[in-house]
Structure 1
């Protein structure tokens, strides 16, 4: 693995992740898991959960973690710069053009057409995580967690980070007790 691969992967996800961090997540996943194989899907899910629980932009946090995992401190720096700098340059160029042509129907149509693409990318990634959860947690636990998440986030307006921490704690406790079960079989002497 080289610094060049880190730079290319995060530049691509940064430039093509139109709409902010959430739209870049599927692109970062593609680069980190499928294209360059820096990590597994499970590791990516853990990085995503951790990134969501911490304050700040998600794409930058993920770039820092993945870059550090792949190539240490210099890898983290390169991944962050690759994620941010090309986007900033492109943003300045794009905003200059949009301000010059802001009332154009073509520009308004292009901006409106991007929304469904981002929605579909997030839906595909969500489906992949749901499928993994279905396998790992089982159908009943997965459905219960989906219902609890929906109720907490939509009806009770609980912050997503709190839900992430609660589910991480649940996973930790469940894993701890399932791997540290007392030995019920006693040897007869």
Structure 2
């Protein structure tokens, strides 16, 4: 691999992660669609299935989700140094901006312009999250089937909203089920097949 190619990969990591850090208004959830766009659609570092798996694991681990995703993407592309580059370029622009604007925090927090910017960007973030959720549901439908998707969505709603459990616990439970899902399906199919074969 040429030096130019290696340098371009670091540049891609730095540029993509800096954009997600600067444009991710609203915290972790609003950054995820931006990271997905960079990793899956633009640079094709992974497919949606892998991104969904990493997102689930990142949700189950402590700490800011966007930073964990940046660290993973950097490590996946260029190892430890790539992970450092990705994390630093993700957090530094916002951190520097916060430090520089610290003296204006009181003014900006009451600024009609800033409040208007936040309100205006919320619909965009909502649509981005909705599109990403739709893509995940579509892939879940292909893998699990319509009935299981509806059942799992209902179970998730009950666990998260009505009980409520911590999201990390729900994610771990579903990850545990996912690890044995296809084995259970194969056993059920084999059992049904045997029962049909025994029926006179």
1:53 aligns to 2:49 (yes or no): no
The more displaced of 80-89 and 23-32 is 80-89
Moved more, 173-182 or 36-45: 173-182
Asked if 1:133 corresponds to 2:137, the answer is no
1:169 to 172, 176, 199: 176
What residue in structure 2 maps to residue 34 of structure 1? Answer: 41
SS in 1 for 2:62: coil
Normalised TM-score (structure 2): 0.84
Taking the aligned partners of 1:29 and 1:62, their CA distance within structure 2 comes to 10
- Correspondence for 2:127: 120
Aligned to 1:145: 152
Q: Give me the CA root mean square deviation.
A: 2.2
- The structure 2 residue matched to 1:22, chosen from 13, 29, 41, is 29
CA distance in 1, matches of 2:41, 2:120: 27
Q: CA deviation at 1:92?
A: 3.1
CA shift, 1:178, in A, is: 5.3
Q: Measure the CA separation in 1 of the matches of 2:146 and 2:103.
A: 50
5+ long unaligned stretches in structure 2: 1-7, 195-200
- Secondary structure of residue in 2 paired with 1:2: helix
**Is 2:88 aligned against 1:92?**
no
Q: What SS is found at the alignment partner of 1:55? A: coil
Give me the whole-angstrom Cα distance separating, in 2, the residues matched to 1:30 and 1:60.
16
Partner of 1:5: 12
Distance 2:135 2:62 in 1: 25
Aligned partners of 1:52 and 1:101: how far apart in 2? 31
Post-superposition offset of 1:10:
0.5
Q: How many residues align?
A: 184
Bigger Cα displacement from structure 2, 10-19 vs 118-127: 118-127
CA deviation after TM superposition for structure 1 residue 114, in Å: 2.1
Tell me which residue corresponds to 1:44: 51
Residue 10 of structure 1 contacts residue 79 of structure 1 at CA under 8 Å; is this kept in 2?
yes
**Does the CA-based 8 Å contact 1:63-1:80 persist in structure 2?**
yes
Q: Partner of 2:114 in structure 1?
A: 107
Take 1:167 and 1:101, find their aligned partners in 2: how far apart are those partners?
42
Distance in 2 (alpha carbons) for counterparts of 1:47 and 1:36: 17
Bigger proportion of residues as helix: 2
